[in-house]
């Protein structure tokens, strides 16, 4: 089922309330317009935030395990509609079908995680220095959580935030990428189905959807009724969000650029490394924040790895992501293709040797921007390699000393994900230790891409420092309250202070 109208009908989507001619959903597969929608103006945004705030005031009173039941029902809706939603992701974002389905599965997984979490929002009991006193910490809902998501993960990123925010007692306003509004509308429709099944405990306005361009996002970010903003996208966008939120002292969860590296050590399992390199570098046509962009190969295995990699690249099936045999779909648009070509030209000027990178012809998809993934052999890590280009470009550099590879890994402004392939436990531990990789994710014998929801996801430096998904990332969606209870008959002061009168 690849017809957009059939998919939307199966997902229960009615586009009538969104009718307009300001936001155009364009399929990167063939450049065709899937739908034209209206954009929310500042008044619309303010109204939706007001509804979300009113919903929060009611939702926070619902016990957390009961809140988890709503997320469980939403997970059921995702399971039921996984195939259709996965296809919609492919049509609108250009991901291959397996990746579209994988993104929906990621949503299902975070729902399962959040349901369990709804019974584990633990605080602490803390030893007091004063006799007859008890100290403790509690975690309370924070309010309206604003979510800004990017085109490359049009549904999963919202779920990472929303599933946790809902069980923590918050409401959510969502400003998706203007390039992928239909997937957001479909998710909103499925969530409202879950709300209908859940019953009257779920207030109107619990989930609000804002369709629009950057102006709509700015209106949400600037609203004082949104105490937490989670933003996924470019470092430039993240800086703007952070500065705006700082003026009103609100919190941010920033998931920004990545410029991820892999080190292939002398003892590496080469077959495993080649599989890890290929998926990490070309998956989603190189348009993941965790895409492998820099490859450091030890001199002793360089002449084995690189020729093998060129052979693999030459045989990768490029085509419509709707075809099951396709492994590399299109770039999102013409601007992405232009940025890729500019980066390759810069690499050539820095004495890089480019293999691939040209536009690929795909039958029936003339207006889609398909490319052959590029390998670029560089003499050393150059200035251009410090910049993230959202395209399938993999820079390759020889190294002889692990300290040098780690230094290159850490040299760039971004700090999201990293990995090493080695069977030497010393090298593995060195890579992960205090003086090793400075990234938020450091893997051994897997690539930098494809994180599980059980661990907190995010990175350091220009990646923004935010953490989403697993571990204790839930705390970012709550406020901490420290409580001291005096059950004695006296009032001793802390630090032994005497204040008698």
- What CATH number corresponds to the domain at position 418? 3.40.309.10
Same domain, 214 and 286: no
CA 209 centroid distance within chain: 18
495 located within any domain: no
Nearest CA among 322, 288, 56, 12 for reference residue 157: 288
Instruction: State how far the Cα of 446 lies from the Cα of 262, in Å rounded to an integer.
Output: 9
Residue 204: give its domain's CATH number. 3.40.605.10
Instruction: Find the DSSP H helices in 118-234.
Output: 156-167, 181-198, 214-221
278 and 337 both lie in a single domain: yes
Residue 427 in 3-state DSSP? helix
Domain membership of residue 377 as a residue range: 260-444
Instruction: Give the number of other CB atoms < 10 A from CB of residue 199.
Output: 10
* 248 and 397 part of one domain: no
Residue 450 lies in a domain: no
* Residue 333, domain member (yes or no): yes
- List the catalytic residue out of 208, 255, 388, 468: 255
Same domain for 273 and 374, yes or no, is yes
State how far the Cα of 444 lies from the Cα of 84, in Å rounded to an integer.
35
Cα separation, 393 vs 357, whole angstroms: 8
Q: Would you call 452 a catalytic residue per the annotation?
A: no
Looking at the fold, whether 174 and 244 belong to one and the same domain comes out as yes
In a domain, 18, yes or no: yes
- Specify whether 69 is located in the same domain as 189: yes
In whole angstroms, give the CA distance from residue 438 to residue 457.
14
Residue 373 located in a structural domain: yes
| Cα(78)–Cα(105) distance, integer angstroms | 8
28 is a domain residue: yes
Residue 393's nearest CA partner among 350, 351, 361, 355 is 355
pLDDT (tens place) for every residue of the chain, 501 residues total: 468 999 999 999 999 999 999 999 999 999 999 999 999 999 999 999 999 999 999 999 999 999 999 999 999 999 999 999 999 999 999 999 999 999 999 999 999 999 999 999 999 999 999 999 999 999 999 999 999 999 999 999 999 999 999 999 999 999 999 999 999 999 999 999 999 999 999 999 999 999 999 999 999 999 999 999 999 999 999 999 999 999 999 999 999 999 999 999 999 999 999 999 999 999 999 999 999 999 999 999 999 999 999 999 999 999 999 999 999 999 999 999 999 999 999 999 999 999 999 999 999 999 999 999 999 999 999 999 999 999 999 999 999 999 999 999 999 999 999 999 999 999 999 999 999 999 999 999 999 998 899 999 999 999 999 999 999 999 999 999 999 999 999 999 999 999 988
């Amino acid at each position: 089922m690849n017809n957009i109208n059939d998919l939307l009908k199966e997902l229960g989507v009615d586009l009538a309330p969104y009718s307009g001619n300001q936001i155009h959903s364009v399929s990167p597969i063939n450049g065709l317009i899937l739908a034209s929608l209206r954009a929310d103006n500042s008044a619309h945004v303010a109204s939706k935030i007001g509804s979300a705030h009113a919903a929060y005031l009611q939702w926070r009173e619902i016990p957390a395990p009961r809140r988890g039941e709503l997320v469980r029902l939403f997970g059921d809706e995702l399971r039921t509609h996984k195939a259709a939603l996965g296809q919609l992701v492919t049509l609108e974002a250009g991901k291959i079908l397996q990746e579209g389905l994988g993104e929906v599965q990621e949503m299902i997984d975070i729902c399962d995680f959040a349901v369990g979490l709804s019974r584990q929002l633990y605080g602490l009991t803390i030893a007091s220095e004063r006799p007859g006193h008890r100290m403790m910490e509690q975690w309370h809902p924070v309010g309206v959580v604003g979510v800004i998501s990017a085109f490359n993960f049009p549904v999963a990123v919202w779920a990472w935030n929303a599933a946790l925010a809902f069980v923590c007692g918050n409401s959510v306003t969502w400003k998706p990428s203007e390039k992928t509004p239909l997937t957001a509308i479909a998710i909103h429709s499925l969530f409202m189905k879950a709300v209908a099944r859940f019953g009257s405990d779920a207030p109107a306005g619990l989930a609000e959807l804002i369709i629009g361009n950057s102006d709509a996002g700015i209106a949400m970010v600037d609203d004082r009724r949104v105490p937490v903003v989670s933003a996924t996208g470019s470092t430039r966008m993240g800086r703007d969000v952070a500065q705006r939120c700082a003026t009103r002292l609100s919190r941010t969860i920033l998931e920004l650029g990545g410029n991820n590296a892999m080190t292939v050590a002398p003892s590496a399992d080469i077959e495993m490394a080649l599989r890890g390199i290929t998926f990490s570098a070309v998956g989603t046509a190189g348009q993941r924040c965790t895409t492998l962009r820099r490859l450091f190969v030890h001199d002793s295995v360089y002449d084995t790895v690189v020729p093998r990699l060129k052979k693999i690249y030459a045989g990768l099936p490029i085509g419509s992501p709707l075809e099951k045999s396709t492994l590399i779909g299109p770039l999102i648009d013409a601007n992405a293709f232009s940025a890729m070509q500019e980066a390759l030209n810069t690499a050539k000027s820095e004495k890089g040797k480019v293999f691939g990178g040209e536009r690929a012809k795909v039958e029936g998809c003339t207006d889609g921007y398909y490319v052959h993934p590029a390998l670029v052999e560089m003499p050393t890590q150059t200035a251009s390699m410090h910049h993230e280009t959202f395209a399938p470009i993999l820079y390759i550099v020889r190294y002889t000393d692990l300290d040098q590879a780690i230094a290159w890994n850490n040299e760039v402004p971004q700090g999201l994900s990293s990995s090493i392939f080695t069977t030497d436990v010393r090298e593995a531990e060195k890579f992960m230790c205090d003086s090793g990789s400075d990234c938020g994710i450091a893997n051994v014998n897997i690539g930098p891409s494809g994180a599980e929801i059980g661990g907190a996801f995010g990175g350091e430096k220009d990646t923004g420092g935010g953490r989403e998904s697993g571990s204790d990332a839930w705390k970012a969606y709550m406020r901490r309250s420290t409580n001291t209870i005096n059950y004695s008959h006296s009032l001793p002061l802390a630090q032994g202070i005497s204040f008698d009168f």
